[in-house]
Amino acid sequence: MESYLVDITLILDSTVRLAVPLILACMAGLYSERAGIVDIGLEGKLLAGAFAAAAMSAVTGSAWLGLLAGIAAAMMFSGIHGLASITLKGNQTISGVALNFLAAGLTTFLGQSWFKRGGYTPQLSGDQRFNPITLPFANELREVPILGQIYYELISGHNIITYFAFIVVPVTAWVLFRTRFGLRLRAVGENPKAIDTAGISVTRLRFQALVITAVLVGIGGAYLSIAQSAGFNNNMSAGRGYIALAALIFAKWRPGPALLVCLMFGFLDAVQFRIQGQSFPIIGEVPVQAIQALPYVLTVILLAGFIGRAVAPKAAGIPYTKER
Amino acid sequence: MTGLNPTNEQRSSGTAASALAIELVGINKHFGPVHANRDIHLAVRRGTVHGIVGENGAGKSTLMSILYGFYTADSGEIRVNGVPQKITDSRHALALGIGMVHQHFMLVDNFTVLENVVLGAEDSALLRPTLNRARDHLKQLARDYGLEVDPDAIIENLSVGQQQRVEILKALYRGAETLILDEPTGVLTPAEADHLFRILGKLREEGKTIILITHKLREIMAITDEVSVMRQGAMVKTLQTKDTSPGELAELMVGRRVLLRVEKGPANPGKVLLDVKNLIVTDDFKVPRVKNISFQVRAGEIVGIAGVAGNGQSELLESIAGMRDQLGGTISVNDKVLSLEGDDGAARARAAGLAHVPEDRLRMGLVTNFMAWENAILGYQGSYGEGLGLDIGKARSTAEDYLKKFDVRPANLDLKSSNFSGGNQQKIVLAREMERDPDVLIVGQPTRGVDIGAIEFIHNQIIKMRDAGKAILLVSVELDEIRSLSDRILVLFDGHLVGEADPATADETELGLLMTGSHSDQVITEPGTLPAHETPMQQTLVEMSPKDNSGRDTN
């Protein structure tokens, strides 16, 4: 009995760890998509953020500077995206996909030419990473059955970005539905003309959304390389940007449900790690690759079958052109 | 600068300075080679309703967009309350008390009324105080001007008339003293239009200034104090409404004499050419839109279908034209029942002798990227050349013939269709369908977005077809058009035919009541005030009784 409880706690604990980059990327995508910009480039922004954070942290020895570098890199990518799709009214999806290619190539190239480790950044340790924080009384309460254990294992002992990610969700919901900025953001994603005729700049509003997107996804990238892992490796975002986007659609662009969906994807991932190499009754041992594919397969199934009608922000994907 | 409501002192000081609310002096605007506004002078007196009429492309909307700050004029001066102003954007115009109600509403469909009203005019970074204040303000505006709308209703659940009220509320909430309305009645039922005019009357009583852009001369005569006529980018004349007549205005608009009434002799109905029996059609979401309809159209008569847009006209037209499968019933052309098999229904309907001028020429009538000659044979391309080949020479000479006969301008075979004006595009479609000499012609919205001059031509062509012994089914949301062309009028409401009328004797009010599903002996229920849950989905076909229902679709 006891060991099951520990098992479950451990799976939930890694669910949280694995969900964090999804949550951050998903919230990032939420801002831009609610503003009417389809952000398939989340993947590239995540990867660029991860690389920049690890590189900066490796060079300066400061995780915080690494975090800033991650945000800066994502900001640069968002800037390009905005320039292409808002200012020049290019296709949002195509420019986003281009960013993904750019990120994949650029991170490997720069990584190799700077650090000469086949695209990997040096191993990070100590202050170069965001380390787990032990919340007050965690050690004292550790011995208390169940609640104390949950507090010690599940709630305490995460790094600061994890806590930040969980705060971002309610803040996003609040911004979106309770503030002037949120009202305008939602409006510009539904009917930019309404915003334009109200005398508000569509371009500025959409760029503002992209800036928030960049900050969040940059932090998400930094989490991958300098909090969850100890360094950058090639293509370490591994499709999380796409999964975050899927989660966003699944949650119908709402922050609360998006959090739940991200946690669910995190959970699938955690279970996947857990059951690798284990033998099942009847089936026997399942190949690792099949198990690793599980979260992705489920993503496809969920998106195809269970989502129902997801109504995207009406103006998403359409560059705004003032016309007569 | 947002949500400002000028005090009475400000208002009266403005009056002292100038009796003119708006003055435009020498406005010029070019779009590339097009001189959209040439040296426009316009003076709008405070507290009046000032009409602006002109054909499509006369420059009315451009002029108003300049006044509203959407465009900047190349030269000229705008004076608001006698003070010269450079209006650089809409926000600036709003701050000067100029509000605009656009033809296509600028509303966010999934927002509440309240959210739409405050959008862009919020008092603070947090929404709640703004929304609370706006709620009170809206109540007051509703009381003062008869602008009742539920502040918490979602826009997409409101009727078009109510959405328009929200647009007016938006402008008033921002403290508009001058209100520009761009073709406000195009989407309204007669009852809704009357309601709008009552609101405008109240606004005028309260000292607001209203600029009304329209091409409906009847409305100009009914509500305006003064009227300015524009033609080809220039201001032709400003007249006192009481001193002018629709005939004079039409002549000024077009630059020549126009017959406003269609001249036609009595109909001479022959045998039944189009026979529709118990037709049931659903829309793309499987919601029944045409609910058990039967009617006949005989050779040599025009049957008009009147109704507010969205009551099943589109589905009716599309199903007769073979573009949409019916759920039940039959359609016969020339005593031959059109088969339902396969997805080439439109081709088979054509083969049976039916021609179709679709409602939406840009979406269904033309491929806008094609050249004129290509569109002129589209759908009949099979008869130009053998097998895979296309006899381009034959196609072009036919097209040339069409353009000449229908006076399409410019008569350029190779011009991309999107570069023709609406009226000329429509003429291309009409030529293609009429010149094939069909037995049955079904026409949807033949003059939507078409100039007065072209309207006259198109109407005459339709009459000519009738006199040649064709059966014509006409669907239009323009009641005037239905009344002047049709030999019989059928009224469509919520997928049912709810009445038949003789255009010679039909009373407009009675027709309006039928179109909104209201009895004449029953108080008019405001259209669209149905509870949101009452969707067609929940109404079964059999139980449907149109008379119990005053709801209608909002699109």
B107 shares contact with chain A (CB less than 8 Å): yes
- Say whether residue B126 is in contact with chain A using an 8 A CB cutoff: yes
Nearest-Cα residue of chain A relative to residue B100: A197
Q: Is B3 a domain residue?
A: no
Contact status, residue B460 vs residue B333, Cβ threshold 8 Å: no
> Which residue of A197, A311, A322 to mutate against B (max B Cβ within 10 Å)?
A197
Residues B228 and B315 both lie in one domain: no
Residues B132 and B185 reside in one and the same domain:
yes
Confidence of residue B263 (pLDDT cuts 50, 70, 90): confident
Q: Coil, helix or strand for B403?
A: helix
The verdict on residue B424 lying in a domain is: yes
Shared-domain flag, residues B329 and B462: yes
Kindly state whether residue B218 falls inside one of the protein's structural domains: yes
Q: Are residues B109 and B43 in the same domain?
A: yes
Range in B7-16, B432-441, B500-509 with the lowest mean pLDDT = B7-16
| Confidence (pLDDT) at B4 | 44
Q: Show the domains of chain A with their CATH numbers.
A: 2-306 (1.10.3470)
Confidence at B77, pLDDT banded by 50, 70, 90: very high
Mean pLDDT across the stretch B501-522? 73
Residue B1 covered by a domain: no
Question: Alpha-carbon distance A63 to A65, whole Å?
Answer: 5
Q: A96-100, B161-165, B505-509: which range is least confident on average?
A: B505-509
Identify the band that residue B167 occupies on the pLDDT scale cut at 50, 70 and 90. very high
Q: Is residue B2 in a domain?
A: no
**pLDDT for the residue numbered B5:** 46
Comparison of pLDDT for B523 and A143, the residue scoring more: A143
Higher pLDDT, B424 or A47: A47
Residue B109: CB partners within 8 Å, gap ≥ 6?
A190, A191, A314, B154, B155, B156
pLDDT tens-place string over residues A132-175: 888 888 888 888 877 887 888 888 889 999 999 999 999 999 99
pLDDT at B544: 35
Q: Name the pTM for this structure.
A: 0.75
pLDDT per position as a tens digit, B381-396: 888 888 788 899 999 9
At residue B330, the 3 state secondary structure works out as strand
Please identify, among B222, B254, B286, the residue that sits at the C-terminal boundary of a domain: B254
* Residues B56 and B135 placed together within one structural domain of the fold: yes
Q: Does residue B155 sit within a domain? A: yes
What integer pLDDT is reported at residue A306 of this predicted model? 63
Question: With 80 as the cut, is the pLDDT of residue B277 above it?
Answer: yes
pLDDT band for position B435 (50/70/90)? very high
State the pLDDT at residue B9: 39
Question: Which residue of chain B has the CA closest to A187?
Answer: B108
Per-residue pLDDT band for B465 (boundaries 50, 70, 90) equals very high
Residues of chain A contacting residue B167, judged by C-beta atoms under 8 Å apart: none
Residues in chain B with CB shorter than 8 Å from the CB of A313 are none
Query: Is residue B521 in a domain?
Result: yes
In one-letter notation, the amino acid at residue B459 is: H
Percentage of residues of chain A with pLDDT beyond 70: 96
User: Terminus-to-terminus CA distance in chain A, angstroms?
Assistant: 71
Same domain? For B204 and B326 the reply is no
User: Which A positions 123-182 lie with beta carbon below 8 A of chain B?
Assistant: 177-182
Residues 6 or more apart from A59 whose CB is under 8 A from it? none
β-sheet bridge partners, residue B454? none
* CATH value at residue B174: 3.40.50.300
Q: Is residue B222 part of a domain?
A: yes
Closest to A244 in 3D by CA, of A228, A221, A272: A221
CA B483 vs. chain centroid, Å, equals: 16
Number of domains in chain B: 3
pLDDT digits (tens, 9 = 90+) for A208-238: 999 999 999 999 999 999 999 999 999 999 8
pLDDT at residue B533, rounded to an integer: 34
Least confident among A31-40, A90-99, A288-297, B425-434 = A288-297
Same domain, B128 and B155: yes
Question: Which stretch of DSSP H or E encloses residue A151?
Answer: none
B114 within 8 A of B135, measured Cβ to Cβ: yes
Q: What is the pLDDT of residue B530?
A: 34
> Are B137 and B220 in the same domain?
yes
Distance CA A143, CA A139 (A): 8
* B179 in the same domain as B210: yes
Cα–Cα distance for residue pair A38/A318, rounded to 1 Å:
9
Query: Is pLDDT above 60 for A239?
Result: yes
Q: Reduced to 3 states, what is the DSSP secondary structure of residue A263?
A: helix
Q: Is B389 found in the same domain as B346?
A: no
Confidence of residue A305 (pLDDT cuts 50, 70, 90): low
- Determine which of A265-279, B83-97, B101-115 has the lowest per-residue pLDDT on average: A265-279
Question: Which residue among B413, B434, B455 closes a domain?
Answer: B434
pLDDT tens-digit readout, B213-243: 987 788 899 899 999 999 888 999 999 999 9
Query: B44-80 burial string, b = 16+ CB within 10 Å, else e?
Result: bebbbbbbbbbbebbbbbbbbbbbbbbbebeebebbb
Confidence class of residue B83 from pLDDT cuts 50, 70 and 90? very high
Q: Are residues B446 and B496 in the same domain?
A: yes
Rg of chain A (C-alpha set): 20
In this complex, do A198 and B106 lie within 8 Å of one another by their Cβ atoms? yes
Pick from B254, B273, B306: which residue ends a domain?
Answer: B254
Residue A312, chain B, CB below 8 Å: the answer is no
pLDDT at residue A277 greater than cutoff 90: no
For residue B540, pLDDT over 70 is answered with: no
Q: B57 to chain A: nearest residue by CA?
A: A324
Using pLDDT thresholds of 50, 70 and 90, give the confidence band for residue B551: very low
Q: Mutate which of A34, A177, A183, A193 to disrupt the B interface (most B C-beta within 10 Å)? A: A183
- Give the C-alpha separation, B499 to B346, whole Å: 29
Tokens of A242: 């796409």
Out of B61, B91, B107, name the one closest to residue A191 (CB): B107
Q: Please, which pLDDT band fits residue B189 given cuts at 50, 70 and 90?
A: confident
Phi, psi of B227 (to 5 degrees): -140, 135
Distance from CA of B371 to the nearest CA of A (A): 24
Mark which residues 186-205 of A lie under 8 Å from B by CB: 186-187, 190-191, 193-200
Residues of chain B above pLDDT 90, percent: 48
Whether the per-residue pLDDT at B532 is higher than 70: the answer is no
- Domain range holding B371? 363-434
Q: Are residues B339 and B470 in the same domain?
A: yes
Mean pLDDT of the residues in chain B:
84
